[in-house]
Amino acid sequence: MSFGSPPAVEYFEGFSESRPFVPLVDTLAAEINQIPHEEFHRNATHSANSRKRAQRLFEHDAVVTTLDRTLLCDVLDAAVEWSDDADRFVVESVSGATDLNAPSDVTAAGRVPVALEVTERLASTLDDCAVVGGIPGPVATFNELLGDAKIDANRGANELIREVFGDLARAYGRAGVDAFLVTEFASGAQSPSAVIEADVAALEMLGNIAEFFGVPVAFVPEGFDVDVAAEIVEETAVDGVFVDSTDPASVADRFPDVRVGGGITPELLAESTDEIESAIESRFAGAPTSVFPASGTEIPAAIHPTKLQAVARAVEATL
């Protein structure tokens, strides 16, 4: 855990009104450091060093250990392989829910050892910047594993996913994270009620783990209907939510009791640096302090670093 309490953590815990800058930077860090993307995700040294260099470049207030949606799929013994076409790990095959197996030791399974070593390296070297343990949510994990299969018809698989989800969180806590970040991904194959049930159960468990370690929890409901995301947040002890919105201040009305991040959208990053700075200033100059500049999705690796630097300059000038 970073020495003391980083400003971003104090903000999420409600002890500070100083808004953090939290773009979700993952594979972009590999691109900046000219590390092959697969190697970045497999090698803890390259991953940790690249994340630290990216943080020095953009000066963001929280570094996430991983945004890999297949991390728990690998743990559950699915056939996970790197895809050059998709530029990420994908599940090659799984015969069905009954073929999934939870390991006796999650900390030694799949790519979890890499994520934990990255955590320890960052926690021992970053002070004012929060080290955040990224955990793929149960819905995203289920969809990666079983595609269009229904969560509510495969409760055994969902329980296995939740089991390793909790084990990873505990391992992150022992490794010294300053916060947890649950990254979800919506799929039309699942009913809203099934999504809500799966996420509420997982986030309630994570809330107990987070309370034990004394750290906050943030939630990224990528692609979710805002009403579904709001119901999940209302029923759990989430401290912050990240939304992919051009106007996070208006979205914040649906999340009155948590910190709401947004405003750094893919469309914004496609604009010129001058337009980016102007947009950020307009989005946050009059926003309440419960709203902070963040991305509701991973910053694409193809984005030129000067674009995110423009966001950082505007954030510094505005906040």
> For every residue of the chain, which 3-state class applies, written as one string?
CCCCCCHHHHHHCCCCCCCCCEEECCHHHHHHCCCCHHHHHHCHHHHHHHHHHHHHHHCCCEEECCCCCCHHHHHCCCEEEEECCCCEEEEEECCCHHHCCCCCCHHHCCCHHHHHHHHHHHHHHCCCCEEEEEEECHHHHHHHHHCCCCHHHCHHHHHHHHHHHHHHHHHHHHHCCCEEEEEEECCCCCCHHHHHHHHHHHHHHHHHHHHHHCCCEEEEEECCCHHHHHHHHHCCCCCEEECCCCCHHHHHHHCCCCEEEEECCHHHHCCCHHHHHHHHHHHHCCCCCCEEEEEEEECCCCCCHHHHHHHHHHHHHHC
**How many residues would you count in the chain?**
319
Strands 217-222 and 240-242: parallel
Domain containing 241 equals 7-318
Tell me the pTM: 0.95
- Amino acid 95: pLDDT: 64
2 belongs to a structural domain: no
How many C-beta atoms surround the C-beta of residue 136 within 10 A? Answer: 25
- Amino acid 2: pLDDT: 47
Q: How many folded domains does the chain comprise?
A: 1
Per-residue pLDDT of the chain (319 residues; tens, 9 = 90+): 544 589 999 999 999 999 999 999 999 999 999 999 999 999 999 999 999 999 999 999 999 999 999 999 999 988 899 999 999 999 987 766 677 889 999 999 999 999 999 999 999 999 899 999 999 999 999 999 998 899 999 999 999 999 999 999 999 999 999 999 999 998 888 999 999 999 999 999 999 999 999 999 999 999 999 999 999 999 999 999 999 999 999 999 999 999 999 999 999 999 999 999 999 999 998 899 999 999 999 999 999 999 999 999 999 988 7
Half-sphere exposure of 12 (CA within 13 A, CB side): 29
- Amino acid 4: pLDDT: 58
- Amino acid 187: pLDDT: 80
The two three-digit tokens of residue 54, written as one number: 């990216």
197 belongs to a structural domain: yes
204 belongs to a structural domain: yes
48 belongs to a structural domain: yes
Tokens 């910190």 found at: 259
1 belongs to a structural domain: no
184 belongs to a structural domain: yes
221 belongs to a structural domain: yes
310 belongs to a structural domain: yes
- CATH code at 154? 3.20.20.210
| Residues contacting 160, CB < 8 A, separation 6+ | 76, 100, 101, 102
- Amino acid 148: pLDDT: 86
Tell me the Ramachandran region of residue 223: left when phi exceeds 0, alpha when psi lies from -120 to 50, beta otherwise.
left
Query: Hey, what amino acid is at 116?
Result: L
